[in-house]
Amino acid sequence: MTTAEIDEQFSQDNANPENLTEFDVTSGPSEDEETASTGGMVASSTDGTSKKRSTRTPEQRAAIAAAREAARAEAQRKREARQAERAARPPRHSVKLQRAAAALPQLTEDANGLYTDLIANLDNNQLLAVAAHVAHHVRATKTDLSRDLPKIAEGSLVNIVGTNADNMAFLGMQGTIVKPQSIHVIVDVDGEEVYLFRSDVVQAEVDSKETIIAPASNG
What local confidence, expressed as pLDDT, does residue 14 receive? 55
Q: Are residues 164 and 78 in the same domain?
A: no
Position 165 scores a pLDDT of 77
Q: Structural domain of residue 134, as residue ranges?
A: 105-214
pLDDT of residue 201: 94
Strands (E), the chain: 157-160, 174-180, 184-189, 192-197, 201-203
Phi-psi region of 163 (alpha: psi -120 to 50; beta: other; left: phi over 0): beta
Q: Which segments in the chain show pLDDT lower than 70?
A: 1-54, 206-219
Residues 121 and 210 in one domain: yes
Give the alpha-carbon dihedral of 20, 21, 23, 26, to 10 degrees. 60
Does some domain include residue 8? yes
What pLDDT does 174 receive?
Answer: 93
**pLDDT, position 95:** 81
pLDDT of residue 48: 53
Considering the domain architecture, whether residues 120 and 158 belong to the same structural domain is answered as yes
Tell me which residue of 87, 73, 29 sits closest to 53, measured CA to CA: 29
**What is the model's pTM?**
0.50
Q: Is residue 43 included in any domain, yes or no?
A: no
- Same domain? For 74 and 122 the reply is no
How many structural domains is the chain composed of?
A: 2
Q: Are residues 120 and 147 in the same domain?
A: yes
**Do residue 170 and residue 113 come from a single domain?**
yes
Question: Are 79 and 148 part of one and the same domain?
Answer: no
